[in-house]
Amino acid sequence: MAINLNRTTSGGITFTEGARGGHESPVISITRDESWSVKRVFFCKWADWKAFVKEYMGGVTSAGVWTRPKFDDDLPTLPAKRFEVTGLDKARQVTASPHQATYTYACVVITFELAPKDGDKNQTGTAGAMTENLEYTADMITMPSGAFCFQADGMVYDEDGGSVGSIGSGETALTNEVSPGKVMPSASYTLTVDGVPDPPWSDIGLLIGKVNDDVFSPLSVINGLSFAAGRLIFLGVSSERRVLFDPSASDIPVWRLAYKFGFRRIPWNYSYNNNANIGSIGWAELREFTSTKKPFQSGDMDLLLS
């Protein structure tokens, strides 16, 4: 059989688009939740199928540069996501491996669709796609006892919510045996960076437990989240190493890094001051009594993305 390969990719691979199994190309699918996908059937030389798939898939080159996937011609918001390869016109049996054969052509079926959880690998640079996740929660913190007193003539209740009397008319500061609490809004922030060929392990170790020394806004180009200085603390990273395509070719192993942070509206180096003799009542910045060292040292969080 002979197939007319009448088109050429940007990488110089000859191919053509055709039909297979009674289905024309493309085939567009739409679901009730308005998810779109496109399936296209391509043909190329068998010797070129890995390079052809890699060009459409995108990934990290041997130089550590992330290349974006190809998008569908008719629906350019849909990146190439899934690939099926079938050999055509068997040429010969591979002597060293009796269960493998080589072919003249490859039929490559590519499905273009959005990847809701993985994100679209459409950035270039030494790192790939980045995603943000923010979960708001609350921390229960203990307040200084001397900052509070019981409400004069206030009601007193038992554990079941029944009234058992009232507090006296006097207002006396609480003793250390009573620890009032306060709910402080906080958040868990995760920044996932995919396709990192050489993670900054040294900077990661040095930054754990530190707060951001400046505004941190890793996805500012698309109006992502932004954190003022001192309000984000770095808590560590979860890492996963993987090979995007073919370890025997030019691909190199890359990492997916999930950076973990804690966020507070009040800077991490602030604590509640209840002593009106030294200043206003409220949240004030802390440092060591005999030095300028603060409880949480600051660091450059942008080093995590270098």
Give the pLDDT confidence of 38-79 residue by residue, as tens digits.
999 999 999 999 989 988 988 766 565 667 788 898 888 788
Domain total of the chain: 2
Lowest pLDDT segment from 12-16, 62-66, 80-84: 62-66
Instruction: Kindly state whether residues 194 and 103 are assigned to the same domain.
Output: no
Lowest pLDDT segment from 2-16, 18-32, 56-70, 98-112: 56-70
Classify residue 164: in a domain, yes or no. no
Classify residue 168: in a domain, yes or no. no
Domain that holds residue 13: 7-113
Instruction: Kindly state whether residues 15 and 134 are assigned to the same domain.
Output: no
Instruction: Kindly state whether residues 19 and 55 are assigned to the same domain.
Output: yes
User: Is the dihedral angle over the CA atoms 100, 103, 107, 113 positive or is it negative?
Assistant: positive
CA dihedral 284, 286, 291, 293 (to 10 degrees): -130
Classify residue 300: in a domain, yes or no. yes
Classify residue 169: in a domain, yes or no. no
Using alpha carbons, list the distances in angstroms from residue 164 to 31, 149, 150, 151: 62, 19, 15, 15
Classify residue 51: in a domain, yes or no. yes
Q: How far apart are CA 211 and CA 232, in angstroms?
A: 5
Instruction: Kindly state whether residues 63 and 135 are assigned to the same domain.
Output: no
Radius of gyration of the chain (CA): 30
Instruction: Kindly state whether residues 300 and 204 are assigned to the same domain.
Output: yes
Instruction: Kindly state whether residues 284 and 185 are assigned to the same domain.
Output: yes
Digit-coded pLDDT (tens) for 215-266: 999 887 567 789 999 999 999 999 998 765 655 555 567 788 999 999 999 9
Instruction: Kindly state whether residues 64 and 134 are assigned to the same domain.
Output: no
Classify residue 125: in a domain, yes or no. no
